[in-house]
């Protein structure tokens, strides 16, 4: 490599510039957000890679150990050396497991452009450092506190000299050297041990309590002697009245150098819990796959004649879901799964009519025609790729709106990836092996740990900082819609395990052969831990062309053609396992028919009309009732058809009671006839009616003779009367009761109506409170608009009502300066709705893209996202 | 291809003609309730009660799962297997037992379960002090109550607290010229081994003898609860004949007589008689130190008797019945208070062994006359059934059937006294109804038995436990609406084995296209499900044939 002897890079951009194409490609693959839109040059790429949003995203995608490594770098010096990092990660004891995994993790961080620089000058990207370094607002998962230097910033030099003296160090002439003397003392194991050996009883217990974090503790105004001793030597440093912190160096000494209590260098193994015979697994899965097909068919058949209505907000009402669950004889969450599956597979959709309903799509009819294995393949493929997650149905979204099946808000972008990952983990096990669900979850958590305090480190003493703006500080998808105490990924993984079982991808908890095939050829290989891969030796800044860290390929969905091949392979494996449809049933004298297996479709269709289904599963039990037989007769079959049908398809003689039932119902079927007519003509004289029927002019009236003395007409009574009059008859209209109707003019009236309310002129007079509030708002706005301000150096003077405009860098700098000086600023601000306003604020803190400030306009402390601030101007001093 | 299909709704379909059917039936019978047994495919159902019955009988979830997996034709849904294991696992987490120091205690092998049930408001009043984390004292008087409550909570307790021996009384079976049938022996043995419980045998399969066998095992004073006085007499008669007991040792405790003897037969009716809000005859339960309590026709056990039974949990209890189907759905009370099912034999199987007579069941459909149809159409809802059930055509049909079987012993059974009186008149046969005195009833029964009378018209008083050995034909003209168990009982009248091996005939005369037909369908369901296929005949067919 030609770059080996080049100078050490001085910035991330330079570091990137030194990387080869493959390595850059790996970076962009891992962080695709960096190329949307495509950056113009590497400097821009580096800038973008350092933006908060992108870094957060990258950090969230790290595995537990890489994240721990990044966290360790955040508490190490900047730049840090390899040895420093190794000490933090592996501790003084140099844990060999950690030491051997560390180069890999570092490579991963480098590849992701989160760390750059050679081994002697490892630099964590500044944004990442800000995110991961401990601060009172964001306690670090390491549980470490600020370093001595940070914690003593702002302390009086006299105080610092006291610490130095008390710790037994020679006094120095300035605070800076005093602080460094103190921190180097704390960092020296032997000297520190000697110092602590002198500690009075109880002191060490206090340190012990704080050592693994949170590092903050409360002290009273008059601390006890053992606390005093610690405070005197700077082993505990005051942060605020009544609060002390354990400096990082002391904590590291007590932790034997380790930044993490439990470093997790290796992913938790997913081991088989029990192992079934692969044949049993495949058979069970195939059985379930068949059930999946029948369930979807049944669902859509249920909705065949007008499915449930679409809610106005979209989705299926809870009542309809319940009804569907009852019809399918499953629980509601499972019903939601089937409905969503059919939707994802394109088999059902809203019909888009004015009175919107769900119905099967034309695709469904095509689907029905395919062989069962292919139909399953289509469902499984749709399931694997879907981002819609039926599991959240029944929960509520962030705005407390209920999430309904088929409704909006069900998409979870992590779903396909988690699904595939869970399945690949299963695929990594021997055939027929069932893993412990908890182990799978632990593995997934390792691969994508939730950023935030470690579970064992209780919430920081200050509590969590007020969340600025609407979204959480990391804008993570993790909290979206999650109401349980489990994070979304874990819940997705649990759902995946359940759904895979329902769909027949797994059988009795183990991945079936067809399930394996569905994942594609590479899945099994990718699932095995990359332990076999040699860890890159000598982690230089350049990456070897072989990149170990590419998020396991199997979690990335296959491209469409590859998936189609995999699905077809799965269907081929499944096909022989599916039961062969039968062409016969067993009829019994208790008026039931049992189909001892799936039936051929025409047979099943007829039978489901002729009889009610009583029990489903491998077999189907039908019961004949008068109602069901009538249904068959209504469908246009005759009694003899039915007899012939039963005789043809029954393995056993048709029982006499059944034959009797059919005949009995058929005998009465159609005895009464019902039709619609809109008017009738009645006459005691049959010859008059004959005459009317014979008259050509009566054709338009569409008359039909019902009885010798009655004609039914399709024309309405008025037309009929006119028509008959035109033919020279003198008909009289008849009321519903049969009386002759007498027509006479009558007055037209509206239904009951109330008199209109008077509309007063202008709005009502406002009350006192409203007036006061309004005046205050007007005055505050006035102040913001008219406050004399220093003219910006190069900007044209602003007209009244115009927002100040400055570049974001300038805005930030001005803000930071204002925090130090405590000055009030005049800003232009665009709120979430896009409305611009001017405010006068006194910034208190600038951090993580947010300004916390006292807002003079609103008279309270508020937090503003920096990107919403159009510009800033200083107020004129007066 | 195996013979069993496991459905996702927890029914099991067994193909009876399959060569493995027998083995499979034996494997699944302990835990699955036979629901329907028509000719080709029997339906069994997995219920929590059934699974707990199996646990009580010493089967574990693994056996159940193995049996299903082994015989199932299609893969068994995983969820079902998990559910079975979970359900079965709930039984026996709690046990009731005797503690030498504290008396009756409830212990658990799973502390959270105990915590859960102790939180329940319904359990709290039934238990006393907590002895240790896993044990809590139960008031001895609440032994039945707590079992009932725990079952409702889904944590059935295993009762290992044992039984009092009761006052000893020598009872032996007097097996002279007869012997207990193998299945009766098995039933007695299962019951005795299990301590308490229910034996399910078809009518005519000799339940009384199972009772006698149990008494001979217990050898202690026994209280027998039966449905009515006639049945009480028959028990007494049978016991005197089949055991070493003498007339003097057996007391009858009924409306007319109040005898308390080492073996006392009491009717449900007298026990549940209430005067001024109290049950005056309850002391019967405490009047002796009973060692065994026998419940005849458990499926008819009236609700108050359940309440008394809850207080009798320290005594052995044997329930006898032809069906556990209760129209009121209190099967779970039977399970918790009397005990789990200890023995069950399908009707057809015992028939196949020749212990009950095969029967030919026929439904005769009669048409209403035009005027009757109009009357039926306009009748008030509560009168409708009466109108159609008592149509005059039924009389003609009944006469035709009686003519056809002239010379055989024929019972005509009905619901409406007017109809029966009219039939009695036309058939020239005596009528037994509610107002007939017991003496008169027995006289008529004797005459019928002796063959002096060949046709007897009976109202529903004869529904239960009368023993008419030579009745070979029963004609049902009306019934108590759609009662399935009444139909089973009535069929039972003709199922006792006939001396000459005659086939039994059961005719149900039904008015076509009316409520009567709907009720008949409902009534027949139990029997049809037990494998008794009804033939259907037109009245005209029968009438022309008879003419």
| Residue pLDDT, tens place only, B264-287 | 999 888 888 888 878 888 777 777
* A816-832 pLDDT, tens digit each: 888 888 788 888 888 88
C-beta atoms of B513 and A668 within 8 A: yes
- Judged by CB atoms closer than 8 Å, whether chains meet at B74 and A618 is answered as yes
Across A688-720, b (16+ Cβ under 10 Å) vs e yields ebeebeebeebeebebeeeeeeebbbebebeeb
> Which of B8, B39, B533 is facing A616, going by the closest CB pair?
B8
pLDDT, position A269: 83
- Asked if pLDDT for residue A443 goes beyond 60, the answer is yes
* B338 and B228 together in one domain: yes
Q: Are A619 and B13 a contacting pair at CB < 8 A?
A: yes
Residue B176: inside a domain: no
A789 and A875 in contact (C-beta within 8 Å)?
A: yes
Q: Give kind and range of the element (H or E) at residue A172.
A: none
Contact B75 A579 (CB under 8 A): no
Residue B429 lies in a domain: yes
Q: What are phi and psi of B454, to 5 degrees?
A: -110, -15
Average pLDDT over residues A188-204: 81
Residues sharing a CB contact under 8 Å with residue B203, sequence separation 6 or more, in sequence order: B322, B356, B488, B489, B491, B492, B493, B495
Q: Is the predicted pLDDT of residue A878 greater than 60, yes or no?
A: no
Q: How confident is the model at residue B211 (pLDDT cuts 50, 70, 90)?
A: very high
User: What ipTM was estimated for this complex?
Assistant: 0.79
Q: Tokens in use for A166?
A: 């008390």
* Least confident segment among A187-191, A239-243, A780-784: A780-784
Reduced to 3 states (helix: H, G, I; strand: E, B; else coil), residue A792 is coil
Name the percent of chain B lying above pLDDT 70. 94
Cross-chain CB nearest to A588 (options B6, B39, B534): B39
Answer yes or no: is B427 within a domain.
yes
Q: Kindly state whether A586 is in contact with chain B, defined as any CB-CB distance less than 8 angstroms.
A: yes
Residue A798, classed as helix, strand or coil, is coil
Using an 8 Å Cβ cutoff, are A293 and A601 in contact?
no
Cβ proximity of B129 and B255 under 8 Å: no
Q: What is the mean pLDDT of residues B142-154?
A: 86
Q: Of A280, A616, A656, which is closest to B536 when you measure between CB atoms?
A: A656
Q: Name the strand (E) or helix (H) holding A179.
A: helix A175-187
- The alpha carbon of residue A645 is apart from the nearest alpha carbon of chain B, in Å, by 19
- Could you tell me which residue, A434 or A785, shows the higher pLDDT? A434
A579 chain-B contacts, CB cut-off 8 A: 74
Asked, for residue B125, whether it belongs to a domain, the answer is yes
Say whether both B101 and B239 belong to one domain. no
Residues of B in contact with A286 (CB under 8 A): 75
| pLDDT over threshold 50, residue A472 | no
Least confident of A32-41, A717-726, B117-126, B269-278: A32-41
pLDDT tens-digit readout, A98-148: 888 888 888 888 888 888 888 888 888 888 888 887 776 677 777 888 888
**Which among B218, A178, A812 has a CA at the least distance from the CA of A169?**
A178
Q: Are residues B86 and B100 in the same domain?
A: no
- When divided into structural domains, chain B yields a total of 4
Cβ atoms of B507 and B342 within 8 Å: the answer is no
Where is pLDDT greater, at A120 or B222? B222
Q: How many CB atoms lie within 10 A of CB A512?
A: 30
Per-residue pLDDT at A787: 61
Note whether A489 and A418 are within 8 A (CB): yes
pLDDT at A559 over 60: yes
Q: A288 versus B471: which is more confidently predicted?
A: A288
Give the separation between CA A474 and CA B63, rounded to whole angstroms: 53
Q: What whole-number distance in Å separates Cα of residue A494 and Cα of residue B120?
A: 31
Do A28 and A112 form a contact (C-beta atoms < 8 A)? no
Q: Which of residues 618-637 of A touch B (CB under 8 A)?
A: 618-619, 621
Helices (H), B142-200: 143-153, 182-194
Are B188 and B335 within one domain? yes
Domain boundary among B90, B105, B126: B90
CA pair distance A841, A827, nearest whole angstrom: 7
- B204 and B343 inside one domain: yes
pLDDT digits (tens, 9 = 90+) for A600-617: 888 888 888 899 888 877
Say whether residue A548 is in contact with chain B using an 8 A CB cutoff.
no
Q: What is the pLDDT of residue A167?
A: 79
Contact B78 A284 (CB under 8 A): yes
Q: Name chain A contacts of B6, Cβ cutoff 8 Å.
A: 617-618
Q: Is residue B403 part of a domain?
A: yes
Q: Which of the given ranges, A5-9, A161-165, A795-799, B455-459, has the highest pLDDT on average?
A: B455-459
**A589 lies within 8 A of chain B by CB:** yes
Q: Is A652 on the interface with B (CB under 8 A)?
A: yes
What b/e readout covers A107-138, taking b as 16+ CB neighbours within 10 angstroms? bbbbbbbbbbbbbebbbbbebbbbbbbbbbbb
Split at pLDDT 50, 70, 90, the class of B210 is very high
Nearest-Cα distance to chain A for B528, in Å, is 5
| Cβ contact A652–B40 (<8 Å) | yes
Q: Does pLDDT of B409 surpass 70?
A: yes
Give the global pTM: 0.68
Q: For the segment B102-133, what is each residue's pLDDT rounded down to a tens digit?
A: 888 999 988 888 888 888 888 888 888 888 88
Q: Measured between alpha carbons, how far is A227 from A229 in angstroms, rounded to an integer?
A: 5
| B536:A660 CB<8 A | yes
Q: Is the pLDDT of residue A752 over 80?
A: no
> Are B324 and B285 members of one domain?
yes
Helices A96-111 and A64-75, packing angle to 10 deg: 90
CB-based contact, A287 to chain B, within 8 Å = yes
pLDDT, one tens digit per residue, over B51-96 is 888 888 788 888 898 888 888 888 888 788 888 998 998 888 888 8
Average pLDDT of chain B, as a whole number: 83
Tell which wins on pLDDT, A633 or A799: A633
Tokens of B250: 């057996």
Cβ contact, residue pair A579, B77, below 8 Å: no
Q: Mark yes or no for CB contact A617/B6 under 8 Å.
A: yes
pLDDT of the residue at A337: 92
Angle value at C-alpha A605, between A600 and A610, nearest 5 degrees: 125
What is residue A271's predicted lDDT score, i.e. its pLDDT?
A: 82
Option in A287, A586, A617 nearest B41 (CB): A586
Decide: A259 and A68 in contact? Cβ < 8 Å: yes
Return the SS3 of B457.
Answer: strand
Residue A777 pLDDT greater than 60, yes or no = no
Same domain for B188 and B134: no
Q: Closest-CA residue in chain B for A659?
A: B536
Predicted confidence (pLDDT) at residue A288 exceeds the cutoff of 50: yes
> What pLDDT is attached to residue A484?
45
Say how far apart CA A338 and CA A502 lie, in whole Å.
9
Same domain, B329 and B386: no
Closest Cα partner for A445 from A493, A409, A480?
A493
In this prediction, residue A781 carries a pLDDT of 55
- Interface touch A617/B529, C-beta < 8 Å: no
pLDDT band, residue A793 (cuts 50/70/90): very low
Enumerate the H helices of B6-138 as residue ranges. 21-28, 48-56, 61-71, 78-90, 111-119
What is the pLDDT, as a whole number, of residue A790?
Answer: 55
CB atoms within 10 A of CB A97: 12
B78·A508 Cβ contact <8 A: yes
Q: A648-685 pLDDT, tens per residue?
A: 998 888 888 888 889 888 888 888 888 888 888 888 88
Residue A260, token pair as written in the block: 């993490």
Residue with tokens 């020239």: B428
- Say if residue B64 is in the same domain as residue B123: no
A738 Cβ neighbours under 8 A, 6+ residues apart: none
Rounded Cα distance, A165 and A158, in Å: 10
- Asked, for residue B167, whether it belongs to a domain, the answer is no
A581–B contact, CB cutoff 8 A? no
pLDDT of residue A207: 81
Which of B60, B90, B120 is the C-terminal boundary of a domain? Answer: B90
Q: How many CB atoms lie within 10 A of CB A534?
A: 10
Q: For residue B318, what pLDDT band results from cuts at 50, 70 and 90?
A: very high
Give the tens place of pLDDT for each residue, B475-521. 988 887 777 767 777 777 777 766 666 778 889 998 888 888 888 88
The answer to whether the bond into A787 is cis (omega within 30° of 0) is no
Residue A509 has pLDDT above 70, yes or no: yes
Q: Which residues of A touch B73 (CB under 8 A)?
A: 596-597, 618
CB contact (8 A) between residue B528 and residue A591: yes
pLDDT of residue A764: 58
CB B34 within 8 A of CB A646: no
The per-residue pLDDT for range A351-370, each reduced to its tens digit, is 878 888 888 888 888 888 88
Which residue bears the tokens 């805005």?
A: A811
Query: A591: which chain B residues are within 8 Å (Cβ-Cβ)?
Result: 528
How far apart, in whole angstroms, are the C-alpha atoms of residue B340 and residue A646? Answer: 42
Whether residues B267 and B404 share a domain: the answer is: no
pLDDT greater than 80 at residue A445: yes
- Is the separation of the CB atoms in B54 and B41 below 8 Å? no
CB within 8 Å: A589 and B534: yes
- How much is the pLDDT for A467? 34
What is the arithmetic mean of pLDDT over A188-192? 82
pLDDT of residue B546: 55
Per-residue burial over B529-547, b if 16 or more Cβ lie within 10 Å, else e, is: bbbbbbebbebeebbeeee
Is A811 strand, coil or helix? helix
Q: Do A589 and B528 count as a contact with CB atoms less than 8 A apart?
A: yes
* B35 domain residue, yes or no: yes
Torsion of CA A644, A646, A648, A651, to 10 degrees: -150
CB pairs under 8 A between A and B: 107
Residue A338 pLDDT grade (very low, low, confident, very high; cuts 50, 70, 90): very high
Q: 490-509 in A: which are within 8 Å (CB) of B?
A: 501, 507-509
CATH code, domain carrying B499 = 3.40.50.300
Distance CA B76, CA B79 (A): 9
First to last CA, chain B: 52
Is residue A528 predicted with pLDDT exceeding 60? Answer: no
At A465 the pLDDT is 36
A124 beta partners: A115
In a domain, B99, yes or no: yes
A671-675 contacts at long range (C-beta below 8 A, 24 or more positions apart)? A675/A712
Which uninterrupted H or E stretch holds A845? strand A836-847
Range B256-273 burial, b when 16+ CB lie within 10 A, else e: eeeeebbbbbbbbebbbe
Q: In the predicted model, what is the mean pLDDT of residues B454-480? A: 76
A109-to-A26, A94, A453, A804, B166 alpha-carbon distances in Å:
12, 21, 21, 40, 82
The number of residues making up chain A comes to 878
Residues B128 and B271 in one domain: no
Optimal mutation site among A592, A617, A656, A658, interface B, most CBs of chain B within 10 A: A617
Q: Chain-wide mean pLDDT for chain A?
A: 79
pLDDT at B342: 84
Q: How far apart are CA B396 and CA B405, in angstroms?
A: 14
Cα of A632 to nearest chain B Cα, Å: 19
Q: What is the pLDDT of residue A471?
A: 34
Chain A residues near residue B62 by CB distance under 8 angstroms: none
Identify the band that residue A469 occupies on the pLDDT scale cut at 50, 70 and 90: very low
Chain A residues lying within 8 Å of B76, measured CB to CB? 284, 287
Beta bridge partners of B294: B224, B318
Q: Averaged over A274-286, what is the pLDDT?
A: 86
**Which one of B15, B69, B74 has the shortest CB-CB distance to A579?**
B74
Axis-axis angle for helices A157-166, A175-187 (nearest 10): 30
- Residue B285: domain span: 182-347
Do B438 and B312 sit in the same domain of this protein? no
What is the C-alpha R_g of chain B? 25
**Minimal C-alpha gap between B83 and chain A (Å):** 13
d(CA B389, CA B512): 10
Residues of A in contact with B78 (CB under 8 A): 284, 288, 501, 507-509
**Over residues A70-80, mean pLDDT:** 82
């Amino acid at each position: 490599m030609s770059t080996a002897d080049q100078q050490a890079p001085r910035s991330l951009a330079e570091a990137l510039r030194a990387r080869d194409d493959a390595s850059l490609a790996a970076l962009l693959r891992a962080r695709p957000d960096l190329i949307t839109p495509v950056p113009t040059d590497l400097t821009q790429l580096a800038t973008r890679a350092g933006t908060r949003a992108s870094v957060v995203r990258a950090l969230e995608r790290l595995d537990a150990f890489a994240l721990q490594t990044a966290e360790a770098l955040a508490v190490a010096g900047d730049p840090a050396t390899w040895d420093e990092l190794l000490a933090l990660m592996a501790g003084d004891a140099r844990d060999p497991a950690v030491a051997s995994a560390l180069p890999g993790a570092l490579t991963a961080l480098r590849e992701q452009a989160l760390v750059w620089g050679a081994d002697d000058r490892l630099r964590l990207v500044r944004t990442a450092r800000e995110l991961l370094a401990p601060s009172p607002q964001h306690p670090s998962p390491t549980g470490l506190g600020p370093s001595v230097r940070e914690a003593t910033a702002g302390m009086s030099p006299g105080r610092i000299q006291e610490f130095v003296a008390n710790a037994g160090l020679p006094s120095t002439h300035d605070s800076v050297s005093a602080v460094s003397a103190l921190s180097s003392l704390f960092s020296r194991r032997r000297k520190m041990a000697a110092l602590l050996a002198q500690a009075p009883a109880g002191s060490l217990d206090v340190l012990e309590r704080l050592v693994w974090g949170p590092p903050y503790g409360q002290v009273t105004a008059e601390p006890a002697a053992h606390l005093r001793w610690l405070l005197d030597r700077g082993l505990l440093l005051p942060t605020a009245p009544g609060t002390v912190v354990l400096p990082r160096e002391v904590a590291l000494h007590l932790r034997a150098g380790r930044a993490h209590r439990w470093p997790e260098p290796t992913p938790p193994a997913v081991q088989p819990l029990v192992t079934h015979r692969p044949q049993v697994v495949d058979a069970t899965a195939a059985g379930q796959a068949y059930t999946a097909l029948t369930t979807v068919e049944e669902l859509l058949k249920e909705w065949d004649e007008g499915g449930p209505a679409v809610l106005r907000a979209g989705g299926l009402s809870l009542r309809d879901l319940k009804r569907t669950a009852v019809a399918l004889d499953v629980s509601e969450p499972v019903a939601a799964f089937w409905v969503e599956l059919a939707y994802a597979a394109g088999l059902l959709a809203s019909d888009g009519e004015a009175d919107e309903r769900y119905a099967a799509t034309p695709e469904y009819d095509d689907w029905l025609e395919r062989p069962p294995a292919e139909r399953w393949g289509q469902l499984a493929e749709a399931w694997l790729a879907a981002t819609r997650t039926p599991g959240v149905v029944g929960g509520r979204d962030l705005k407390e709106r209920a999430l309904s099946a088929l409704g909006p808000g069900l998409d979870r972008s992590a779903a396909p990836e988690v699904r595939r990952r869970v399945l690949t983990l299963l695929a990594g096990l021997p055939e027929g092996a069932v893993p412990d669900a908890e182990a799978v979850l632990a593995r997934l958590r390792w691969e994508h740990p939730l950023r935030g305090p470690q579970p064992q480190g209780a919430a920081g003493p200050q509590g969590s900082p007020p969340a600025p703006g609407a979204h959480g500080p990391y804008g993570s998808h993790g909290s979206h819609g999650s109401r349980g105490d489990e994070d979304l990924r874990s819940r997705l993984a649990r759902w995946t395990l359940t759904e895979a079982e329902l769909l027949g991808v797994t059988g009795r908890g183990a991945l079936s052969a067809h399930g394996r095939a569905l994942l594609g050829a590479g899945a099994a290989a990718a699932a095995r831990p990359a332990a076999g891969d040699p860890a890159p030796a000598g982690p230089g800044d350049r990456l070897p062309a072989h990149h170990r860290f590419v998020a396991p390929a199997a979690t990335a969905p296959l491209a469409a053609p590859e998936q189609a091949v995999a699905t077809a392979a799965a269907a081929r494996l499944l096909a022989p396992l599916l039961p062969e449809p039968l062409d016969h049933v067993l009829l019994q004298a208790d008026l039931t028919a049992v189909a001892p297996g799936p039936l051929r479709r025409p047979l099943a269709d007829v039978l489901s009309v002729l009889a009610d289904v009583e029990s489903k599963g491998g077999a189907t039990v039908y019961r004949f009732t008068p109602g069901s037989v009538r249904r068959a007769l209504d469908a246009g079959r005759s009694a003899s058809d039915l007899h012939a049908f039963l005789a043809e398809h029954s393995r056993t003689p048709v029982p006499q009671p059944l034959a009797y039932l059919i005949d009995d119902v058929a005998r009465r079927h159609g005895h009464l006839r019902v039709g619609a007519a809109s008017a009738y003509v009645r006459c005691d004289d049959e010859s008059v009616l004959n005459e009317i029927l014979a008259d050509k002019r009566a054709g338009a009236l569409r008359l039909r003779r019902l009885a010798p003395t009655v004609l039914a007409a399709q024309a309405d009574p008025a037309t009929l009367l006119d028509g008959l009059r035109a033919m020279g008859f003198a008909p009289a209209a008849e009321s519903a009761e049969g009386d002759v109707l007498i027509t006479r003019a009558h007055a037209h009236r509206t239904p009951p109506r109330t008199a209109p309310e008077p509309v007063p002129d202008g709005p009502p007079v406002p009350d006192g409170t409203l007036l006061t509030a309004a005046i205050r708002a007007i005055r505050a706005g006035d102040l913001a608009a008219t406050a004399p301000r220093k003219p910006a150096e190069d900007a044209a003077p602003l007209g009244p009502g115009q927002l100040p405009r400055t570049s974001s860098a300038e805005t930030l700098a001005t803000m930071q300066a204002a925090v130090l000086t405590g000055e009030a600023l005049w800003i232009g601000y665009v709120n979430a709705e896009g409305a611009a306003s001017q405010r006068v604020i006194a910034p208190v803190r600038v951090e993580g893209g947010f300004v916390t400030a006292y807002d003079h306009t609103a008279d309270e402390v508020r937090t503003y996202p920096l990107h919403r601030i159009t510009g800033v101007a200083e107020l004129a001093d007066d | 291809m195996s013979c069993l299909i496991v459905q996702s709704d927890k029914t099991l379909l067994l193909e009876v003609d399959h060569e493995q059917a027998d083995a499979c039936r034996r494997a699944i019978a302990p835990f699955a309730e036979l629901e329907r047994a028509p000719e080709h495919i029997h339906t069994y159902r997995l219920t929590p009660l059934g699974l707990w019955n199996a646990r009580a009988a010493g089967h574990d979830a693994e056996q159940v799962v193995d049996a299903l997996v082994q015989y199932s034709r299609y893969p068994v849904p995983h969820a079902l297997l998990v559910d079975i294991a979970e359900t079965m696992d709930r039984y026996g987490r709690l046990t009731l037992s005797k503690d030498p120091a504290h008396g009756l205690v409830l212990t658990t092998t799973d502390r959270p379960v105990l915590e859960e049930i102790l939180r329940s408001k319904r359990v709290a009043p039934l238990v006393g002090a907590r002895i240790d984390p896993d044990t809590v004292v139960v008031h001895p008087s609440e032994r039945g109550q707590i079992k009932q409550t725990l079952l409702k909570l889904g944590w059935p307790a295993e009762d290992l607290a044992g039984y009092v021996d009761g006052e000893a009384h020598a009872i032996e079976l007097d097996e002279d010229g007869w012997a207990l049938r193998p299945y009766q022996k098995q039933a007695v043995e299962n019951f005795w081994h299990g301590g308490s419980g229910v034996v399910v045998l078809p009518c005519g399969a000799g339940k009384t003898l199972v009772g006698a066998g149990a008494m001979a095992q217990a050898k202690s004073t026994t209280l027998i609860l039966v449905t009515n006085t006639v049945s009480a007499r028959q028990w007494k008669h049978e016991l005197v004949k089949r055991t070493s007991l003498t007339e003097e040792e057996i007391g009858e405790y009924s409306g007319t007589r109040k005898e308390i003897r080492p073996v006392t037969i009491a009717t449900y009716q007298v026990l549940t008689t209430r005067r001024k809000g109290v049950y005056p005859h309850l002391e019967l339960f405490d009047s002796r130190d009973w060692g065994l309590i026998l419940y005849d026709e458990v499926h008819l056990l009236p609700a108050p008797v359940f309440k008394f039974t809850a207080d009798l949990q320290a005594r052995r209890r044997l329930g006898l019945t032809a069906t556990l189907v209760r129209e009121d759905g209190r099967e779970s009370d039977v399970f918790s208070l009397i005990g789990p099912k200890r023995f069950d034999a399908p009707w057809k199987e015992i028939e196949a062994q020749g212990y009950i007579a095969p029967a030919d069941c026929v439904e005769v459909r009669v048409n209403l006359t035009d005027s009757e149809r109009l009357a039926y159409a306009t009748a008030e809802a509560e009168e409708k059934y009466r109108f159609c059930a008592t149509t005059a055509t039924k009389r003609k049909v009944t006469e035709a059937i009686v003519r056809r079987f002239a010379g055989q012993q024929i019972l005509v059974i009905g619901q409406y006294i007017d109809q029966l009186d009219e039939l009695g008149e036309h058939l020239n046969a005596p009528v037994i109804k509610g107002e007939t005195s017991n003496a008169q009833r027995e006289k008529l029964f004797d005459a019928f038995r002796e063959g002096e009378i060949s046709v007897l018209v009976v109202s529903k008083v004869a529904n239960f436990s009368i023993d008419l050995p030579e009745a070979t034909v029963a004609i049902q003209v009306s019934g108590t609406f759609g009662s399935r168990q009444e139909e089973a009982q009535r069929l039972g009248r003709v199922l006792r084995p006939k001396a000459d091996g005659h086939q039994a005939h059961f005719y149900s005369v039904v008015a076509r296209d009316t409520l009567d037909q709907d009720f008949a369908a409902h009534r027949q369901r139990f029997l049809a499900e037990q494998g008794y296929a009804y033939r259907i005949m037109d009245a005209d067919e029968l009438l022309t044939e008879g003419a």
